[in-house]
Amino acid sequence: MNFQGFMRPDGRVGVRNRVLVIATCDCAEPTAQMIARGIDGVVSVSQHLGCIATDTATTLTGAAKNPNICAALLVSMGCEGIEAEPMIAEISKTGKPVELVRIQEIGSTRGTIARGREIVQKMTDEAQKQQRKTFEISQLAVGVKCGGSDTTSGIAANPSIGAMTDMLVDAGASVVMIEPIEAIGAEDFLASRAANQSIKKQVLKWISDEEKRWTVPGASTDFMCRGNIDGGLTTLEEKALGAIHKGGHRPIQGVLKNRKGHLEMVPQGGGFYLQEGTHEEIPAITYMAAAGVNMVVFATGRGGVFGHAISPIIRVTGNPETWVRMKEDMDINASTIMEGKESIEGVGKRIFDEVLAVASGKPTLSEQLGLDNFAVWRYDSRLEALLGLL
């Protein structure tokens, strides 16, 4: 089973051919945006946690290493705590073109924009010369995530994504699921899927560490957002048991590490993996993209509407009302399961086919709308040290 993608020098395969402009700090973000503005195939990203948030450099670097990115330009103010040179050295290991402009060194914002656009245009010209080629599905990495969940998410959207997950893994692809907080209450089920005892311990630690983070005064794992409650969900356990369905039923091959200074890439060779990180939608998808995920299949009952700068998002809803009301924003209608018109496996196969189509260049609805969300989240090192999780 094959798809049409772009080979990178490091052997990974992209499903998009984008040039990435990275502002290493939020101070430089407007300049980076103006460099990217109006040039087809160019996206701009940054982080908003301050210029001394050096641990965010790992995520930004991972975003540039994603195989959907063919080249990168870093935009630095020049005085920030985040050093651009180590980022460039790490990105260069992929064999991609990567360059740097410093606003203070060039001497003006206008001068930096002009120089940056000159560099990016050359990168884009080279990107346009590249052609899609045929690759086996084993080169594909797909993330799964849910948000804006309601009762239909656990009954229709997530199970059908889970069926897709099994199909992808069986065909040789890799699938990654993040959001450990969504597994609290479903620990035993997930742990039973571990490929061996060592991985079983990783899975249980993945969940218990997240649970510890919510034991500090003022925080509680027993929470759901307004949309969850309005959508009929009653307990965190109910939500968790619905959420984990998107991970399918195949053995868990490991938990991808995502800590300060270390973000583990999705291993090549296929299989189902968990990943350390947050449950918040955009940062979670950013983490998966930084680990090398080509695209994300996203389940939403209430109708979460956004895209991503690095990895395309295929949106799936199992809610008949959401499908009717928000059809222009939903890529896949899984509400046919709720209506008794289609099986979980049938919808799963439709999602599987859509994944291959998007991998070969079909734009998702969020891409058609130009939605290119991006956000970086990080663990609080003080809290991690307090809880003994570092």
Q: What is the pLDDT of residue 8?
A: 97
Q: Which residue has the higher pLDDT, 251 or 181?
A: 251
Residue 213 above 90 pLDDT? no
Q: Is the pLDDT of residue 236 over 80?
A: no
User: In a 3-state reduction of DSSP, which class is residue 37?
Assistant: coil
Q: Which residue has the tokens 């450099």?
A: 57
Q: Report helix, strand or coil for 146.
A: strand
Which of the residue ranges 149-153, 211-215, 370-374, 375-379 has the most confident prediction, judged by mean pLDDT?
370-374
pLDDT tier, 231 (very low <50, low <70, confident <90, very high otherwise)? low
The reported pLDDT for the residue numbered 234 is 57
Reference 368, options 320, 321, 325, 305; nearest CA is 305
Distance CA 78, CA 75 (A): 9
**What pLDDT does 185 receive?**
81
187 compared with 339, residue with greater pLDDT: 339
Q: Which positions ≥6 away from 192 have C-beta within 8 Å?
A: 200
DSSP 194: B
If pLDDT is split at 50, 70 and 90, which confidence band does 279 have? confident
* Range 213-252 burial, b when 16+ CB lie within 10 A, else e: beeeeeeeeeebeebbeebebeebebbbbbbbbbbbebeb
Give the chain's mean pLDDT: 92
Contact predicate 74/25, CB 8 Å: no
**6 — pLDDT class (breaks 50, 70, 90):** very high
pLDDT digits (tens, 9 = 90+) for 320-371: 999 999 999 999 999 999 999 999 999 999 999 999 999 999 999 999 999 9
Judge whether residue 209 has pLDDT over 60: yes
Of the two residues 184 and 332, the one the predictor is more confident about is 332
Average pLDDT of the segment spanning 140-157: 90
Is the whole model's pTM more than 0.75, yes or no?
yes
Q: Which residue has the higher pLDDT, 53 or 366?
A: 366
| Strand pairing category for 262-263 and 258-259 | antiparallel
Predicted pLDDT of residue 101: 98
Give the residue-averaged pLDDT of 182-187.
83
Q: How many CB atoms lie within 10 A of CB 94?
A: 19
Residue 222: what pLDDT?
A: 62
pLDDT at 7: 97
Averaged pLDDT for residues 53-64: 94
> What local confidence, expressed as pLDDT, does residue 89 receive?
97
> What is the predicted pLDDT for the residue at 221?
63
Whose CA is closest to 63, among 39, 94, 41, 35?
A: 94
* Distance (Å, whole) CA 14 – CA 368: 19
Q: Residue 224's pLDDT is what?
A: 62
Count of other CB atoms within 10 angstroms of residue 4: 16
Please give the pLDDT value at position 325: 95
For residues 313 and 307, the answer to whether their CB atoms sit within 8 Å is yes
- Confidence at residue 151, expressed as pLDDT on a 0 to 100 scale: 84
Phi first, then psi, for residue 347 (nearest 5°) are -70, -40
Q: Which two structure tokens, joined as six digits, stand for 207?
A: 């969940």
Please work out, in degrees rounded to the nearest 5, the angle formed at the alpha carbon of residue 157 by the alpha carbons of 152 and 163: 140
Cα–Cα distance, 15 to 358 (Å, whole number): 8
Specify the residue for token string 């799964």. Answer: 144
For residue 45, what are its two tokens? 């990203």
Beta bridge partners of 129: none
Backbone angles phi, psi at 281, to 5 degrees: -55, -65
- Overall average pLDDT of the 40-51 stretch: 93
Enter the tokens of residue 177: 């699921």
134-140 mean pLDDT? 98
Give the amino acid at 168. Answer: L
Between CA 63 and CA 34 the distance in angstroms is: 20
Percentage, residues of the chain above pLDDT 90: 76
Measured CA to CA, the distance from residue 375 to residue 48 in angstroms comes to: 8
| SS3 at position 120 | helix
Average pLDDT over residues 247-276: 94
